[in-house]
Structure 1
């Protein structure tokens, strides 16, 4: 009886092993389509809704970490928001004012806003703003990084004294 149990048990183990190997190795009988594949779990940091923002407000948002968000500028001053000023008729109101909100202690945003002449920090007279740096470039390809006053406007490009070349804003980095 013991010999019969061992033989039976050995046969069962061999059958399970063979079935497992054939399941792993056997082709599925069809080819996998793109719809059958799982989406990539790799974050590309592309700015969500960037195409609609570009079409409506003419502001090109490229990528970021999700902690500097584009916000339609209100008609009046906007305490607590970073304000970028451009001589182009862009932004939610078409007046060249583009607003951003920093939602964490630090944030990063890659963008392209042409003809920028000032960047205002998100601080107010009663609250400290984020430390903010702005990376800009001229049409000739001269890159500069500017420390933005956390509580006031920082003039760049054509608004500096003496006037500089027109600049495009390429990047914003905020920290506490």
Structure 2
């Protein structure tokens, strides 16, 4: 009887050990496939839908913090929106007017809009607009940063006094 229980106990221990080893050693088919991996949680700040906006409105939006958004301009003036004016036939209406909405106290947007001659702040006579800085460059590579009037147009490039070189808008930064 003692021999039978030792044999039985030995068989049970061996079975448990074999099961444990087989659980640990079960092949997983190599490295995890891309479908099994979690998506990256790293934000690259690229502008959502930028390719579609470039194709339809000819506006190159590169990146931002999500607080300055491109909006199709209405046919009339747009209080509460930043308006960028270009001599190119770009924008939702093809008239060179591009509109942006600041959705928070501060925002940042990197973009590339050629032949910009004016930037209008998002304020009105009744409400103060955001403090806005516009970074521009010329074809020759001369970079400038302009403080935009929060409630009116600020002329740049060929519309500035005295007239300057054609400018490309590279960045907008808004704050309160």
**TM bracket (short chain):** 0.7 to 0.9
**How many residues align structurally?**
163
CA drift at 1:38: 1.3
Tell me the residue number matched to 1:82: 82
The reply on whether 1:144 has 2:136 as its aligned counterpart is no
* 2:107 aligned residue: 107
Q: CA deviation at 1:19?
A: 4.3
Aligned residues: CA RMSD: 2.2
* Inter-partner Cα distance in structure 2 for 1:164 and 1:147: 16
**SS of residue in 2 equivalent to 1:36:** coil
Once residues 29 and 62 of structure 2 are traced to their aligned partners in structure 1, the CA distance between those partners, rounded to angstroms, is 42
Structure 2: state its 5+ residue gaps: 1-8
**C-alpha distance in 1 between matches for 2:59 and 2:31:** 43
- Structure 1: 5+ residue stretches without partners: 1-7
Larger radius of gyration: 2
Residue in structure 2 matched with residue 51 of structure 1 by the alignment: 51
* TM-score, length of structure 1 as denominator length: 0.86
Q: Deviations over 1:70-128 (max 9, x none)?
A: 00000000000000000000000000000000000000000000000000000000000
1:113-166 superposed Cα distances (whole Å, 9 cap, x missing partner)? 000000000000000000000000000111000000000000000001111000
- CA distance in structure 2 between the partners assigned to 1:73 and 1:163 by the alignment: 27
Distance between the aligned counterparts of 1:30 and 1:112, measured in 2? Answer: 45
